[in-house]
Amino acid sequence: MSDHGGNGSRPCVLVLGGGFAGIGAAQKLRNSDVDVVLVDKRDYHTFQPLLYQVATGLLSPPAVGHPIRDLFHKQSNIRIRQDEVTSIDLDARQAHFGEVEPVTYDYLVLALGAEVNFFGVDGAAEHAFPLYTLADAVRLKDHVLERWESADRERRRAEDGALNMVVVGGGPTGVETAGAMAELYNGDFRKDYPEMSADKARIVLVEASPEIFAMFKPDIRSYTAKALEDRGVEVMTGEVVESVTPERVTLKSGTVLSAHTLVWGAGLQGNALIRSLGLELGRGNRIAVDGLLRIPSHPEVYAVGDIAAITDAKTEQVLPQLGSVALQSGEHAGETIAKMVAGKETKSFHYRDKGTMATIGRGSAVVQMLGGKTIKGKHAQLAWGTVHLALLPTNQDRAEAVVNWAGAALTHQRSGRIRLEEEITPG
């Protein structure tokens, strides 16, 4: 039984996930003669590239979470439902949810994103701080603030590693977080806690490969290593985390780091739901798609964004899990469905490369294009700003981001460094 809120006479397009990919697909169907149903377990769209700025108090949560309903006020053919997708029956063309009635679809857009992979490391799921959702970012920020206040009340906690932080993963998430945390530590925290000695607040970036930023060219790798060093981040390469407790991180080499905070930026895997579909999955549990971004065995199903393994037509490489890949692939799926419904010709997906990029800190960023060209420093930061502004969902968000970023660049103020919790946490 289908309950998609439409008139039942036109095709139903079910979009699962309201990230860059799902939003892009749904918006491209606005003028199509279809009923669109978009389901997300959250009532907001998350702008993941700026989560680390929430975690370091530079931005407040609403700056990176936009109400999904707000994005569709002018689209009359869509119904939004906030609910958890619990299962999908690809043969019956039906999706099931926590509370909402099952929806039978004519077209399905799978845009459920990825999730954190702890690789079975002992204690990581319980004690590490991942940085994948807005709730993760707020949790990490609150924890760090709480540890500093706690050490300020009782100095021996600093001796025990209360201010030390281990960041696992030398990819963009780990590097950006380590760089931003170092700026918070060296900037506002120096002034907030003048009696706290700098050597009691280490930030250590741990990476299993011989070098950080393995996906980047050597010039970017050495630039990044120097930029982190300048900010006081200690980089440990060729080291693997073996186990985690709330106050200690043990490496396979036997080294034990005293740190009350472990940020997990080490890996992602396809959404758990995808693993239950009985499909053949590629590296990172991503779904392989054809040139139109469809699952070959179920051509009415499109997989886009982080859950999809999309092979680039030009380079024949699987595209990275990036916001611009998610947005463009989602939009292409929406356009393709609209064309099919209208009986028009479709064309294969071609990614317009925006570069893989990361910001290490103020004035320090890197960009690498698919063809191999690299940019570093202030120009890269400008490119980062331009690409990420384009990913923001509305013009109002863009205007606010420009004000926030310009304000932060001028004042270096991290006014979001407060906790809403009023109680003092003992210990």
Ligand X SMILES: Cc1cc2nc3c(=O)[nH]c(=O)nc-3n(C[C@H](O)[C@H](O)[C@H](O)COP(=O)(O)OP(=O)(O)OC[C@H]3O[C@@H](n4cnc5c(N)ncnc54)[C@H](O)[C@@H]3O)c2cc1C
User: Which CB, 161 or 305, lies closer to ligand X?
Assistant: 305
Does residue 17 interact with ligand X by CB under 6 A? yes
* Residue with Cβ nearer ligand X (176 or 239): 176
In the complex, the smallest distance separating the C-beta of residue 104 from ligand X, rounded to whole angstroms, is 17
Q: Does 270 bind ligand X (CB under 6 A)?
A: no
Binding region for ligand X (CB under 6 A) out of 189-197, 218-226, 317-325, 401-409: 317-325
Which lies closer to ligand X via its Cβ, residue 185 or residue 384?
Answer: 384
Nearest approach, Cβ of 97 to ligand X (angstroms)? 8
* 49 part of the interface to ligand X, by CB under 6 A: yes
Between 29 and 162, CB nearer to ligand X: 29
84 binds ligand X (CB under 6 A): yes
Distance CA 268, CA 89 (A): 25
- Give the other-Cβ count within 10 Å of 334's Cβ: 29
Cα gap 333→23, rounded to integer Å: 11
Site for ligand X in 318-347 (CB under 6 A): 321-324, 326
Question: How far is the C-alpha of 414 from the C-alpha of 277, rounded, in Å?
Answer: 44
109 contacts ligand X (rule: CB under 6 A):
no
**Is residue 111 part of the contact set for ligand X (CB under 6 A)?**
yes
With contact defined as beta carbons under 8 Å apart, do 38 and 21 qualify? Answer: no
Residues that contact ligand X, how many (by CB under 6 A)? 32
CA 9 to chain centre: 38
Beta strands 78-82; 35-40: pairing state: parallel
Query: For strand 203-207 and strand 233-237, is the pairing parallel, antiparallel, or unpaired?
Result: parallel
Nearest to 220 by CA among 375, 80, 336, 353: 375
- Min dist. Cβ of residue 135 to ligand X (A): 11
Q: Which of 220, 228, 247 is nearest to 162 (CA)?
A: 247
Please tell me whether residue 271 binds ligand X under the rule CB under 6 A.
Answer: yes
The whole-angstrom separation of Cα 417 and Cα 396 is 24
Q: Select the residue interacting with ligand X from 35, 239, 306, 331 (CB under 6 A).
A: 306
- Distance of alpha carbon 144 from alpha carbon 161, whole angstroms: 12
Q: Which residues bind ligand X (CB under 6 A)?
A: 17-22, 39-42, 46, 48-49, 51, 84-85, 111-113, 131-132, 172-173, 271, 273, 305-306, 321-324, 326
